[in-house]
């Protein structure tokens, strides 16, 4: 169908815009989805081709999932950490993506006390407080240690150095991960942060490390480089972060100079279904898990960890709107946006960008198709089998199409 029949919100969705000086050809951004295509911690040709497929499909910017700030910030040995050793591969991949007409963001992350990385330099992963490291159990890494106060400046420095490196190798933007139960989120959450020093206690104290990392990243990349952040609107667990906390967290990040907030929710560690909705990932994860011990743990934790959240379009919209009303920075919606009707709603509600995860795995050319078909609807059925392909030899993929 001709472009001229698109409503004015969809026209806006497909028109160029700016994100802190970066020109983006439309409002669609590929959400960070750890690709599982970096065997041995090295970006592969498959990773480049995966993002090239997404780029050719028409998004304005793609996001390289999980770029750890340091080697010990990886959940496992096959994840990327930002260092000179992989600069040639990253540069070449980013150049190819630029040639395909797409900008590239990198999701800057740290696993904190949640890791099964057998190459850890420190004896145990380090989080805000001593805790069980459920992910590491099968590798005999049962616990996470509390980060010492004297280790914190080094941790912040890793964000600075990683950001400087990312800018140098050609990334156009950085997305700091403040959510999903990873390192910074573990500090923000009262559920996982039991510290008695200035990094624990009140929400302001629990946000201190995140704000220091944001400041360090900003210092590394300068004022005119897009830095966005992904948060969990709520962790959806008793004693964890709440929707009210998300408003305050967003205000603090906004005041701290963030250019945009991506409003996700849940945690990979305690409540993953909150961030996906739809069919439980437990069954496909059990099928994919090679370790008998981990399968037993998953079976035992299953009913409490994998809660039932039926899928609905725009499942974070109402809570994301509360953040929208509290901040000046760009609002980047993520979570169940997969139809032209939803894109129209998001533009009407004043969101600046739309991040797409699963629907781009089933339809990499979603933006092209959505522009051509007024009533576009993604083929993704939220079976969530793609989530369990993270450790598949081929890397992530849609198992249906
Ligand atoms: C296979 C897969 C891997 C993911 N990996 C990450 C990740 O590394 N970091 C992250 O913040 N979110 C990750 N996500 C979550 C997505 O970024 C997104 O928040 C979620 O899928 C909801 O958006 P959607 O409804 O458009 O899929 C992943 C999602 C999928 C399906």
Pocket test for ligand 1, best of 27, 29, 31, 316 (most atoms within 8 A of CB): 31
CB of 73 closer than 6 angstroms to any ligand 1 atom: no
Q: How far is the CA of 192 from the centre of ligand 1 (A)?
A: 22
Please report the pLDDT score of residue 1 as a whole number: 44
Please report the pLDDT score of residue 4 as a whole number: 53
CB of 390 closer than 6 angstroms to any ligand 1 atom: yes
CB of 387 closer than 6 angstroms to any ligand 1 atom: yes
CB of 357 closer than 6 angstroms to any ligand 1 atom: yes
Pocket test for ligand 1, best of 33, 262, 269, 384 (most atoms within 8 A of CB): 33
In terms of DSSP bridges, do strands 173-177 and 227-232 run parallel, antiparallel, or are they unpaired?
Answer: parallel
Q: Output the DSSP codes for 65-101.
A: EEEESSGGG-SSTTSEE-SGGGHHHHHHHHHHHHHTT
Determine which one of 182, 199, 309, 315 is catalytic: 182
Residue pLDDT tens, the chain, 401 long = 445 578 999 999 999 999 999 999 999 999 999 999 999 999 999 999 999 999 999 999 999 999 999 999 999 999 999 999 999 999 999 999 999 999 999 999 999 999 999 889 877 999 999 999 989 988 899 999 999 999 999 999 999 999 999 999 999 999 999 999 999 999 999 999 999 999 999 999 999 999 999 999 999 999 999 999 999 999 999 999 999 999 999 999 999 999 999 999 999 989 999 999 999 999 999 998 888 888 998 898 888 899 999 999 999 999 999 999 999 999 999 999 999 999 999 999 999 999 999 999 999 999 999 999 999 999 999 999 999 999 899 999 999 99
Give the SS3 label for residue 392.
coil
Please report the pLDDT score of residue 365 as a whole number: 97
Question: Among the atoms of ligand 1, which is closest to the Cα of residue 361?
Answer: 31
Residues 6+ apart with CB under 8 A from 128: 112, 113, 146, 147, 186, 187, 192, 193, 194, 195, 199, 200
- Helix (H) / strand (E) element for 131: namely strand 131-132
Instruction: Take atom 4 of ligand 1 and give the residue whose Cα is closest.
Output: 33
Which of 247, 242, 253 lies closest to 207 in space, CA to CA? 253
Please report the pLDDT score of residue 2 as a whole number: 46
Give the SS3 label for residue 356.
strand
Tell me how far CA of residue 224 lies from CA of 21, 22, 161, 271, 386, in angstroms.
Answer: 6, 9, 18, 36, 36
Please report the pLDDT score of residue 114 as a whole number: 95
Q: How far is the CA of 224 from the centre of ligand 1 (A)?
A: 27
Tell me how far CA of residue 176 lies from CA of 22, 65, 111, 201, 391, in angstroms.
Answer: 17, 11, 12, 23, 23
182 carries an active-site annotation: yes
Q: How far is the CA of 45 from the centre of ligand 1 (A)?
A: 21
Encoding tokens for residue 352?
Answer: 């600046």
């Amino acid at each position: 169908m001709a472009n001229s029949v698109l409503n004015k919100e969809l026209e806006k969705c497909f028109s160029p815009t700016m994100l802190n000086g970066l020109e983006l050809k439309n409002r669609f951004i590929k959400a960070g989805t750890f690709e599982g295509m970096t065997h041995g911690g090295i970006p592969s040709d498959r990773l480049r081709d995966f993002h090239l497929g997404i780029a050719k499909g028409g998004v304005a910017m793609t996001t390289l999932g999980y770029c750890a700030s340091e080697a010990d910030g990886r959940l496992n040995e096959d994840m990327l950490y930002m260092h000179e050793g992989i600069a040639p591969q990253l540069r070449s991949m980013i150049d190819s993506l630029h040639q395909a007409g797409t900008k590239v963001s990198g999701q800057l992350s740290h696993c904190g006390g949640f890791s099964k990385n057998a190459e850890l330099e420190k004896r145990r992963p380090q989080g805000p407080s001593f805790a069980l490291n459920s992910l590491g159990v099968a590798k005999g890494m049962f616990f996470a240690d509390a980060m010492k106060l004297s280790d914190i400046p080094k941790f912040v420095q890793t964000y600075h150095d990683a950001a400087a490196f990312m800018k140098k190798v050609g990334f156009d933007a950085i997305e700091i991960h403040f959510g999903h139960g990873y390192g910074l989120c573990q500090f923000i959450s009262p559920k996982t942060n039991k510290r008695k020093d200035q990094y624990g206690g009140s929400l302001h104290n629990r946000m201190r490390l995140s704000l220091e990392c944001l400041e360090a990243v900003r210092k590394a990349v300068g004022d005119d480089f897009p830095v966005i952040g992904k948060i969990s609107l709520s962790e959806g667990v008793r004693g964890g972060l709440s929707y009210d906390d998300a408003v305050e967290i967003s205000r603090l990040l906004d005041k701290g100079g963030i250019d945009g907030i991506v409003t996700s929710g849940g945690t990979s560690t305690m409540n993953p279904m909150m961030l996906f909705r739809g069919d439980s990932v437990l069954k496909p994860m059990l099928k994919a898990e090679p370790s008998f011990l981990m399968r037993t743990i998953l079976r035992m934790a299953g009913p409490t960890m994998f809660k039932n959240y039926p899928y609905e379009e725009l499942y974070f919209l109402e809570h994301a709107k509360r953040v929208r009303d509290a901040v000046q920075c760009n609002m980047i919606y993520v979570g169940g946006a997969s139809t032209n009707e939803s894109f129209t709603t998001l533009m009407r509600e004043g969101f600046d960008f739309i991040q797409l995860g699963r629907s781009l795995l089933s339809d990499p050319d979603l933006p092209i198709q959505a522009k051509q078909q007024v009533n576009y609807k993604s083929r993704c059925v939220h079976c969530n089998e793609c989530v369990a392909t993270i450790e598949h030899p081929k890397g992530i993929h849609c198992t249906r199409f």
